[in-house]
């Protein structure tokens, strides 16, 4: 039973890490806010 709880906790942490935006997403959003063409290139 303890192993299942540990695996569920690990799965939750992994899901949060995957769902959070990384530096590349922030760069694209920031560049697209300035110009659409720059956002498409980024």
Q: Using CA of residue 33, residue 37, residue 40, residue 42, what is the dihedral sign? A: negative
- The rounded mean pLDDT for the chain is 87
CA pair distance 32, 18, nearest whole angstrom: 22
Judged against a pLDDT cut of 80, whether residue 37 lies above it is answered with: yes
pTM: 0.49
The model's pLDDT over 16-26, given as tens digits with 9 standing for 90+, comes to 888 888 888 88
Residue 8 reports pLDDT greater than 80: yes
Q: How confident is residue 41, by pLDDT bands cut at 50, 70 and 90?
A: confident
Mean pLDDT over 25-34 rounds to: 89
């Amino acid at each position: 039973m303890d192993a299942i709880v540990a695996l569920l906790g690990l799965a939750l942490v992994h899901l949060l890490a995957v769902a959070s935006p990384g530096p590349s997403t922030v760069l694209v959003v920031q560049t697209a806010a300035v110009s659409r063409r720059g956002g498409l290139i980024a």
